[in-house]
Amino acid sequence: MCLAVPGKLIGIRGDDPLTRSGKVDFGGIIKEINLAFVPEAREGDYVLVHAGIALGLVDEKEAARVFQYLEEIYSGDARGEK
Amino acid sequence: MKYVDEFRAAETAQRYVREIERIVSRSWTIMEICGGQTHAIIKHGIDRLLPQCISLLHGPGCPVCITSAGVIDTAIELARRENVIFCSFGDMVRVPGSTGDLLSAKAAGADLRIVYSPLDSLRIARDNPQREVVFFAIGFETTAPAIAVTVQQAKQAGLRNYSILSALALVPPAIEAILSAGGNTIDGFLAAGHVCTVMGYWEYEPLAAKYRVPVVVTGFEPLDILQGMHMITAQLERGAAEVQNQYSRVVTREGNRPAQQLMNDVFRVVARNWRGIGEIKNSGLVLNNDYQVFDAGHRFGLSHHQVAEDTRCISGLVLQGRKKPPECAMFGTVCTPERPLGATMVSAEGACAAFYRYRPGGGDKSQVTKQEM
C-alpha cells in the first residue's frame, strides 16, 4: 500500500498550489502526477510518487550514502576506530 | 530505473551481510513495521541471508490488513446502492468483510471502480454529476496527503456528489501499542520509510527513549533494508536506543510540511479499530467538521458496526509479530490467496500472502531454534 516509486519530472503544468501537476517518467512509463506537496520541484528533479501524488524529492547526494556507509565502516576499521 | 536498480546490487548486498555477521554477537529480534518491507524481505530472501541469530518479525504496517471487517461491510453496503459509484484501490477489493468482499458485490451488479489515485475518483465524480461517487480511503500517513488534496480539490470545485469512507490509520500509536503490551520480544524497529517521508521521524524519538528500543527509518530496496539492519544491529550491540535515518534520500526529521499542513486542515484524529488487534486510541483520521459534507458516513447516515472475525484466523497475532504465518494451521491449506480467511493472506503486502507466494512450504528460517552465537 505504501509503495512509492521515484521518477523524473519532465514537464510542469499550472501554478495553482493545489492542482499544479507534472509529467513524470518512470523508466519509460509517463504519468501525470500532482505536485501540491513539492512546491520546490523543478524539471529534471526526481520525485517520489505515491497514488498519483509526489511526496518528496529524491536527494542525489544522500542517495549515495548507502554505498559510502560501507566505505566508512572499512576506513573506520583501517584506522582502528571500530 | 534510477534510484531502484542500483539499490539491488548483489555484490554490495553480500558486503552488507558480511558486515552484519562480523558485528553481531548474540540473538536479536527486529520488527519491520511496513508490509512493503516484509514483502521485499521475503521476495529477495533477505531473512535467509542474515545471520541465524537475527530474527525478523513482521509488523502491522499493511493498511489493507488492518481495515476492520465492519468497515468493509459498510463499503459493500455503499457499493450496492443503486446510485453509487464506489471507487477503491485494487488491493482492497478481495478482502473479506463478515459476509463477502467488494469484488463479489461487483459481480452481483455493484458499480465498483478500481482506481490508482484518489484523484481518479474525483474525475469520475466530475464526469458523473448525477451519480454519488464514494472513495474508500484506506491507508497510512503515506496515503493521507493524497486523500487530503483530493477532498480539498472537491471542496474548491464545489462538488456535491463526492464523498470518502475513511479507514485512514496512523502508525506510531500502533507501534506504541505493541511496545506497551506485555511479553513483546522486540529489540528494535525498522520504521517505514514512506510514512516518514510525509511525517518525518521526530515522533519516534520519545518512543525510542521511553521503551529503550532503537529505531531506524528504512527504505524498501534490498540495500536499504540491509543497511537498516546493519545500523540497528550496530546500535543494539553497543546498547544504544536512538532514532537513525537510513532513507535520507527522501526522509528528513521534519517530513513534508505542506503535506502535514493540509492533513491538519482536513482531518481530525480519532480512535481506530485495527483488524485482529482491536481499538487503538488516536490511531485514525477522519474528515473534520469543515469537510463533513464529504464524509460518506455523514452523507449516507451510516453507523459503524463491529462484526465478529473468523476465529480460525490468527492474523491479529501475525500483525503484532507474535506468530509467523507458517505457524497457522490454516496456512496454505484452508487459507490461500484465492480463498483467504483474513486480510493478511489477501494483500500483496500481508505477511501471510508474502510467505504463501515466496515460501509455499513455510520455510521461515526463524522457526529454526535460535542459536546463541
Which residue from B16, B197, B246 is facing A55, i.e. has the nearest CB?
Answer: B197
Q: Classify domain A5-78 by CATH number.
A: 2.30.30.140
Looking at per-residue pLDDT, the higher value among B346 and A66 belongs to A66
39-68 in chain B: CB under 8 A from chain A: 61-64
Q: Can you say how many angstroms the Cα of residue B56 is from the centroid of all Cα atoms in its chain?
A: 17
CA-angle at B7, arms to B5 and A56, nearest 5°: 90
Share of chain B above pLDDT 90, in %: 78
Is the CB of residue B200 less than 8 Å away from at least one CB of chain A?
no
CB contact under 8 A, A2 and B63: yes
**Residues B274-289: tens digit of each pLDDT:** 988 889 999 999 999 9
CA-angle at B177, arms to B176 and B178, nearest 5°: 90
CB contact under 8 A, B250 and A70: no
The whole-angstrom separation of Cα B137 and Cα B362 is 33
**Residues B150-162: tens digit of each pLDDT:** 999 999 999 999 9
Which pLDDT belongs to residue B14?
Answer: 95
DSSP tag of B309: P
Which residue from B3, B119, B250 is facing A52, i.e. has the nearest CB?
Answer: B119
Which pLDDT belongs to residue B201?
Answer: 98
Task: Please determine, for residue B358, whether its predicted confidence score (pLDDT) is greater than 70.
Answer: yes
Report the amino acid identity of residue B149.
V
CB contact under 8 A, B7 and A26: no
The whole-angstrom separation of Cα B136 and Cα B130 is 20
Averaged pLDDT for residues B55-66: 91
- How much is the pTM? 0.92
Reading the block at residue B331, the C-alpha cell is 496456512
Looking at per-residue pLDDT, the higher value among B94 and B199 belongs to B199
Looking at per-residue pLDDT, the higher value among B118 and B183 belongs to B118
Which pLDDT belongs to residue B369?
Answer: 32
Q: A21 to chain B nearest CA, in Å?
A: 12
User: Chains A and B: how many Cβ contacts under 8 Å?
Assistant: 129
CB contact under 8 A, B256 and A66: no
The whole-angstrom separation of Cα B159 and Cα B152 is 10
Give the end-to-end CA distance of chain A in Å, rounded to a whole number.
Answer: 39
Chain A residues near residue B7 by CB distance under 8 angstroms: 66
Task: Please determine, for residue A35, whether its predicted confidence score (pLDDT) is greater than 60.
Answer: yes
The whole-angstrom separation of Cα B183 and Cα B181 is 7
Q: B122 to chain A nearest CA, in Å?
A: 12
Strand pairing category for B168-169 and B188-192: unpaired
Which pLDDT belongs to residue A77?
Answer: 61
Task: Please determine, for residue B297, whether its predicted confidence score (pLDDT) is greater than 80.
Answer: yes
Which pLDDT belongs to residue B347?
Answer: 81
The whole-angstrom separation of Cα A6 and Cα A12 is 16
Which pLDDT belongs to residue B26?
Answer: 96
Which pLDDT belongs to residue B373?
Answer: 31
Which pLDDT belongs to residue A2?
Answer: 81
B163, B274 Cβ separation under 8 angstroms: no
Reading the block at residue B91, the C-alpha cell is 488491493
Share of chain B above pLDDT 70, in %: 96
Reading the block at residue B133, the C-alpha cell is 461517487
Task: Please determine, for residue B98, whether its predicted confidence score (pLDDT) is greater than 70.
Answer: yes
Which pLDDT belongs to residue A48?
Answer: 98
Task: Please determine, for residue A46, whether its predicted confidence score (pLDDT) is greater than 90.
Answer: yes
Which pLDDT belongs to residue A80?
Answer: 45
Q: Which residue of B has its CA nearest to A62?
A: B249
Reading the block at residue A32, the C-alpha cell is 501525470
Q: Is the ipTM, as predicted for this complex, more than 0.90?
A: yes
316-355 in chain B: CB under 8 A from chain A: 347, 349
Which pLDDT belongs to residue B306?
Answer: 72
Which pLDDT belongs to residue A74?
Answer: 80
Per-residue pLDDT band at B372 (split at 50, 70, 90): very low
Q: B351 to chain A nearest CA, in Å?
A: 13
Q: Which residue of A has its CA nearest to B11?
A: A67
Chain B residues near residue A50 by CB distance under 8 angstroms: 142-143, 146, 194
Q: How far is CA B54 from CA B41, B47, B339, in A?
A: 13, 8, 33
Per-residue pLDDT band at B366 (split at 50, 70, 90): very low
Which pLDDT belongs to residue B363?
Answer: 53
Chain B residues near residue A1 by CB distance under 8 angstroms: 35-36, 62-64, 89, 91, 138-140, 142-143, 347, 349
Chain B residues near residue A6 by CB distance under 8 angstroms: 1-4
Which pLDDT belongs to residue B360?
Answer: 66
Averaged pLDDT for residues B206-215: 97
Task: Please determine, for residue B170, whether its predicted confidence score (pLDDT) is greater than 60.
Answer: yes
Task: Please determine, for residue B365, whether its predicted confidence score (pLDDT) is greater than 50.
Answer: no
Task: Please determine, for residue B149, whether its predicted confidence score (pLDDT) is greater than 80.
Answer: yes
Q: Give the domains, in start order, of chain B with CATH numbers.
A: 5-62+171-245 (3.40.50.11750), 65-170+255-299 (3.40.50.11740), 315-359 (no CATH)
Per-residue pLDDT band at B346 (split at 50, 70, 90): confident
**Residues B222-238: tens digit of each pLDDT:** 999 999 999 999 999 99
Averaged pLDDT for residues B155-182: 95
Which pLDDT belongs to residue A81?
Answer: 45
CB contact under 8 A, A59 and B139: no
Strand pairing category for B28-34 and B54-61: parallel
- Is the C-alpha dihedral spanning B130, B72, B272, B283 positive or negative? negative
Q: How far is CA B371 from CA B35, B235, B263, B365, in A?
A: 27, 20, 46, 12
> 3-state DSSP: chain A helix, strand, coil percent, rounded to 5?
20, 40, 40
Task: Please determine, for residue B368, whether its predicted confidence score (pLDDT) is greater than 60.
Answer: no
Task: Please determine, for residue B303, whether its predicted confidence score (pLDDT) is greater than 90.
Answer: no
Chain A residues near residue B124 by CB distance under 8 angstroms: none
